[in-house]
Amino acid sequence: MAHHSVGSEKLEFSEEFFPLPKTTAHARPALNSNPFANLENAGDLSEVTVVNRFVTAVNTHDLVPGMKLLSCASGSRPDDGKIDEDSQKVDIAFYHAAEAQTDGNPSWADQVLPVQFKSRETLRDPFDDHEGGVWEADAATRTKVRGQIISYAELLFQVQQREALFVLLIIGRRCRFMRWDRSGTIVTAARDYVSEWELFCEILWRIANRSDAQLGMDPSATRLRPGDGEFDRMDLVAKPNDDDIDHRERMLSSEQLPDQQFKFIRDAFRDSLQPGWPRYRLEVPDGDEVREFLVAKPAFRAEGLAGRGTRGYVALDTTTGRFVWLKDAWRVDYPGMRQEGDILSQLNKAGIPNVPTLICHGDIRDQKTLTPVWWERRHTLHPEPAASLSRTFAVPFLSKSTKRKRRDDDTEQTPLVQPKGHSDFDPPPFREDCPLRLHTHYRLVVKEVCMPLSQFQYGRQLVGIMYDCIYAHEQAATHPDTKLLHRDVSAGNVLIYPRVVVESGSVRLQWGGLLADWEMSRNVHKDAEDRRPHQPERMGTWQYMSVALLSRNYHIVGIPDELESFFHVILYHATRYLPSNCDDFTIASYIYDYFDTYGVDGDVYVCGDKKAHTIKTGILVVNDRKILEFSSPMDELLSEVLSWFRAHYFVANYSRKVEKPQPDSEEMPSDSSSEDENPTLPFALPSLPTATSTSQPRRKAAVKDKAPTEVDTVLASYVQVHQYMKDLFWESFHDPRWTLEKKRDRIPKGRTLFREDPQLDVPAHVNKKRRIDGPQTGLAASAPALLLRPPDARNTYQVQAHSAD
């Protein structure tokens, strides 16, 4: 076996991630011959044969001392769906010898380094090696392999506490190493492990001498196992407690609740203790101190591998013994981007109601994604000579539209247009040409453990919950000590939390609203400096973003956009859960058309036709024969709000055509206009700043362009501030015509819209049909904001490769 160091070009990946150990825990295995000699013709063998011979060679010669390479595909139960509903099975994986199971099941919680096998080297390799670098392969079978590997990596990131994941890919007699993090993956050029067996065995031995943290495990998370005191403590506190508070709405005799927790919270913690799911003790910074929390299965798991990877836990505070909500995420990290905990602290100090109460937060041990750093190193602004470039390359994840196949020229890097207010001579605080976001590991703990909005019980209650969140948004946007816009109002961020309400002398426990997930919030824009981008791509939750945000580049978020998002949230939940004049299949189709579809304008995704048409016309048209109706005060509420947004877009579009644009909504006309300003109007009309001058030639409105009426202008003004929508929701909540209509999910879990899509890069055994599932089990906190791509593009799997020159 080779005992010498190999050149940096061959071992660059290994020298960075698997360097020669300074001290060794395991000696090199003694090898007198090639342990992989019987895989000389691996390209002609069946996949099963290659797997068996490879496993035998590694274990027989103890090539990774201290670990065992075990098959994961021979067991009869792929975790019984407790961890993975799709019942996936990676081929084999390395396990620590003391934790290795021999039943042939995946044991996702214990895998150290998964290994995936594919036969037929040129037909199943998801990457191509070229003189300029490593590129993704386009063939359908090879794309499917790539999607399969991504799905395995995504699951391991969800189950384990990791900052990175190494994967070994074997294709016939060739191999590649990959390192995955929340920004992308680093992929090595393919090597022949049979002819270069000495190099390959050297790498395997180095892996054996790496610590768990060096192999990607998160050192701030301590795995708990049966017999550990804290493992047993979790079982103990999960038991039902008669002192827990009944969270159902009801009349109370006192304004003060006992110093206990709601029953649904303990139930949710008990539900998280699922067999097969690992338990951990997690560290969370608290100023100069560190606090610890116990968690098991997350109540919320964000889909996708690239991105923030948000997981939400009902956690046990080891100090106080109380249940709290712990959010684990990889926040976007650029200068000017604030930590969510700092924002919550600001909101809490200002006394903003109906927002989470901060306990502690902080970045985790300076853990950052390395793939963007690697990419920038390979794509310097002043490139090195081609001969010195490595053959190891950073590869980002870019989702692809199911309507648009990647062309050969899609790898070209198109320069970003400078946003308004940003000087060409003042570069933004990020590499505009880098396709990868930089992420930092971050945890946040808040006091309130909430219920998801989907658990509301009747229409009037839904309106009240939405009112509370609109009120919270108004206070945050207008309070002199905050002046914040949320910028990601969505169903996952509008939550339910029971609270005591005193009204007309009566005391009752009422389900109220709580507006969570403030990490994307920004100060109200005041000048061009504030308009500078803090990250290379805007973010939001596609289904609930305003038509304006989905239709125009560099549209700065304003109050009308936020209020429109509140409208989309209540429309979605009313449509899905309340009785209406439509059958279930029509509802499923309508929800898909309104919230999930999208259009394409060149290379830009834009708002879908159904949502755009609804806002333009102000009518909830389901199809050519039917308008959506609920036979309740919900009809009047939705119709009234729609009329305001119809007028808002009509006035804004006309103003833009005649080049007398409305003021940027971020200038925020005062919510406290006096009614004396216009006594003939039902609400006070905010004063509008005069139009600003422009250097562009003015265009007169065409004869066919109908000018807005005075009524249009008044209605449009109602969405420039919060007051009118807030008042409308308050009045609707107190409407005596509400009844306790029976609420049910109109789209039962597992129901699918049979919309086959052969372009989805997912494993063959995973259902490719567009699935609209029922509500998630467990608790919900803040669902993560998504990249500004449509839902189908978000949920597909694709890797975009880049050359190094």
Domains with residue ranges and CATH for the chain: 5-218 (3.90.1570), 220-378+435-449 (3.30.200.20), 452-527+538-659+708-754 (1.10.510.10)
Q: Which of 258, 275, 340, 323 is nearest to 779 (CA)?
A: 323
Q: How far apart are CA 415 and CA 412, in angstroms?
A: 10
Start-to-end CA distance of the chain, whole Å, equals 35
- Which of the given ranges, 525-539, 702-716, 766-780, has the highest pLDDT on average? 702-716
113-118/165-171 β-pairing: parallel
pLDDT, mean of residues 379-389: 53
**Cα dist from 501 to 27, 251, 257, 511, 726, whole Å:** 68, 10, 11, 9, 18
pLDDT at residue 100 in the model? 83
474: phi then psi, degrees, rounded to nearest 5: -60, -45
DSSP conformational letter for 213? T
pLDDT > 60? residue 4: no
- In the predicted model, what is the mean pLDDT of the chain? 80
**Cα dist from 609 to 402, 405, 618, 625, 654, whole Å:** 17, 21, 14, 17, 20
Q: How far apart are CA 62 and CA 68, in angstroms?
A: 8
Quick count: other Cβ atoms within 10 Å of Cβ 690?
Answer: 7
Count Cα neighbours of 740 within 13 Å in the Cβ-side half-sphere.
1
Helix or strand holding residue 60 (H, E):
helix 47-60
Q: How far apart are CA 135 and CA 118, in angstroms?
A: 18
Q: Which of 588, 580, 649 is nearest to 617 (CA)?
A: 649
468: phi then psi, degrees, rounded to nearest 5: -55, -40
Count Cα neighbours of 687 within 13 Å in the Cβ-side half-sphere.
8
229: phi then psi, degrees, rounded to nearest 5: -60, -40
- The tens digit of pLDDT for each residue in 669-700 reads 344 333 333 333 333 333 333 333 333 444 44
Q: Which of 762, 799, 798 is nearest to 186 (CA)?
A: 799
Q: Which of 481, 451, 443 is nearest to 362 (CA)?
A: 443
Q: How far apart are CA 115 and CA 124, in angstroms?
A: 15
Residue 556, SS3? coil
**Cα dist from 271 to 296, 582, 779, whole Å:** 9, 35, 10
pLDDT > 80? residue 352: yes
- The tens digit of pLDDT for each residue in 645-655 reads 999 999 999 98
Q: 59 and 247 in contact (C-beta within 8 Å)?
A: no
Q: Which of 649, 651, 660 is nearest to 710 (CA)?
A: 651
- Burial of residue 689 (CB within 10 Å: 0-12, 13-18, 19+) is exposed
Quick count: other Cβ atoms within 10 Å of Cβ 33?
Answer: 9
Q: How far apart are CA 186 and CA 250, in angstroms?
A: 56
Residues 6 or more apart whose Cβ sits within 8 Å of residue 555: 548, 549, 561
Q: Which of 128, 133, 127, 83 is nearest to 105 (CA)?
A: 83
pLDDT > 60? residue 701: no
191-192/174-180 β-pairing: antiparallel
pLDDT > 60? residue 417: no
Q: How far apart are CA 663 and CA 651, in angstroms?
A: 12
Q: Which of 311, 353, 331 is nearest to 512 (CA)?
A: 353
pLDDT > 80? residue 608: yes
pLDDT > 60? residue 438: yes
- The tens digit of pLDDT for each residue in 197-227 reads 999 999 999 999 999 999 999 999 999 999 9
295: phi then psi, degrees, rounded to nearest 5: -140, 160
pLDDT at residue 228 in the model? 97
Q: How confident is the model at residue 376 (pLDDT cuts 50, 70, 90)?
A: confident
% of the chain residues with pLDDT over 70:
72
Q: How confident is the model at residue 121 (pLDDT cuts 50, 70, 90)?
A: low
DSSP string, 517-545: --TT-EEPP-SGGGGS-SSSS-EE-GGGS
Count Cα neighbours of 278 within 13 Å in the Cβ-side half-sphere.
20
pLDDT > 50? residue 600: yes
Q: How confident is the model at residue 77 (pLDDT cuts 50, 70, 90)?
A: very low
pLDDT > 50? residue 422: no
Q: How far apart are CA 604 and CA 550, in angstroms?
A: 10
pLDDT, mean of residues 70-78: 63
Tokens of 448: 């309130």
Question: What are 501's strand-pairing partners?
Answer: 508
- Which of the given ranges, 42-46, 426-430, 600-604, has the highest pLDDT on average? 42-46
Across 92-141, where does the E strand assignment appear? 92-96, 113-118, 127-130, 133-136
Q: Which of 619, 580, 614, 631 is nearest to 747 (CA)?
A: 580
Q: 530 and 558 in contact (C-beta within 8 Å)?
A: no
- The tens digit of pLDDT for each residue in 33-49 reads 999 999 999 988 988 99
Count Cα neighbours of 707 within 13 Å in the Cβ-side half-sphere.
7
